[in-house]
Amino acid sequence: MPQHIVVVIEENHGYSQVVGNSDMPYLNKILIDGGLLLTNSHGVEHPSQPNYLDLFSGDHQGVTTDAPVPGASENAAQQTPLTAGNLAAALIHKGYSFSAYSQSLPAPGSLAYFSDGKTAYDSMPSANPGAFIYARKHNPWTNWQAPSGYARQGNESNTLPASINQPMSAFPAADFAALPTVSYVIPNQCNDMHGGVSGSKTTENCPYASSSGDANDRQLAKNADHFLRTRLGAYAAWAKAHDSLLIVTWDEDFHSDADNHIATVIYGAGIKPGSKSSQHVNHYNILATIATDYHLDLAGLGHAAEAKPVIFAGPEVKTP
């Protein structure tokens, strides 16, 4: 059983766009060469937001677009939280812990739809070109976040406290033993390969990529690799010696491919360097793997209950 698992979710790039990408040396030379590459990994659907919900709860919860989830509100007192089972609630019910660390989240517990890391916005701002870099659509646990004093009854025990919703600045720099059992890390849109918004003003290092492999796309790949190396590299090295894991995956491929072939790499203790698995997996399998590691009740995690986990055993990773 891993002491800690950290899951990093990147954006909108297919397997062939990142595996072997010379602009991503840390991902390829350290994490992939030193870890397990799932060569047959897939997003579940399009667009982005449903995939984040799938990876967190085993279901898209009826959400099929990037628009705000029904019941969601930037005002915590007015939000009607989702009540379906989810990974965080399942861990907490079992006595474990969970936190999410979102880069450029304006404040702990924030329910903002967009932010530049300081100011919360309830819609896409046009005057501030950097304000889109945090996007709530990539932060699914916010939709289970309950207002202070919310009366939990029955399955509403699956609602979540604001304390699990943290900015990336709260992620430890060195004391990784202080991490919760499972953490999800969400880079901002300059560092997750998403990039700018078509037709909007963007900063030099957060461009909009109009096609795969163009100059802007290469910059986004460099940004993502730099984030992984500088913000997760120390944890990855620590994990190998401390019975812990780092999982890096993508939400979906480059927007619309029906196959939705993405890269997923698992790095850390018990992983044979340079290993590969051709097992067909998607976000449900990754969720099932985490849940199985901690003996959680899969029945409450949607389609993950039907998914085969990747099983970690001894120095290698075995698949069913």
- pLDDT tens-digit series, residues 2-12: 999 999 999 99
More confident site: 107 or 148: 107
More confident site: 131 or 152: 131
Q: Is residue 69 scored above 70 in pLDDT?
A: yes
Answer for the pair 227, 236: CB distance below 8 angstroms, yes or no: no
| The two three-digit tokens of residue 117, written as one number | 């890391």
Per-residue pLDDT band for 132 (boundaries 50, 70, 90) equals: confident
What average pLDDT does this structure show over 257-269?
Answer: 94
- CA–CA gap between residue 89 and residue 277 (Å, rounded): 30
Answer for the pair 190, 231: CB distance below 8 angstroms, yes or no: no
Sheet of strand 114-115: strand arrangement: 120-121, 114-115, 134-135
Answer for the pair 248, 224: CB distance below 8 angstroms, yes or no: no
Q: Is residue 156 scored above 90 in pLDDT?
A: no
Count the neighbouring beta carbons within 10 Å of the beta carbon of residue 213: 12
Task: Please report, for the domain that includes residue 240, its CATH number.
Answer: 3.40.720.10
Percent of the residues in the chain that have a pLDDT greater than 90, as a whole number: 75
Range of the domain at 208: 4-318
| The two three-digit tokens of residue 180, written as one number | 């919760």
Average pLDDT, the chain: 91
Global confidence as pTM: 0.94
For the chain, the domain total comes to 1
Answer for the pair 103, 134: CB distance below 8 angstroms, yes or no: yes
- CA–CA gap between residue 124 and residue 165 (Å, rounded): 21
Helix, strand or coil, per DSSP, at residue 156: helix
Q: Is residue 161 scored above 60 in pLDDT?
A: yes
Answer for the pair 302, 58: CB distance below 8 angstroms, yes or no: yes
Closest CA to 294 of 98, 60, 82, 144: 98
Answer for the pair 131, 106: CB distance below 8 angstroms, yes or no: no
Helix, strand or coil, per DSSP, at residue 8: strand
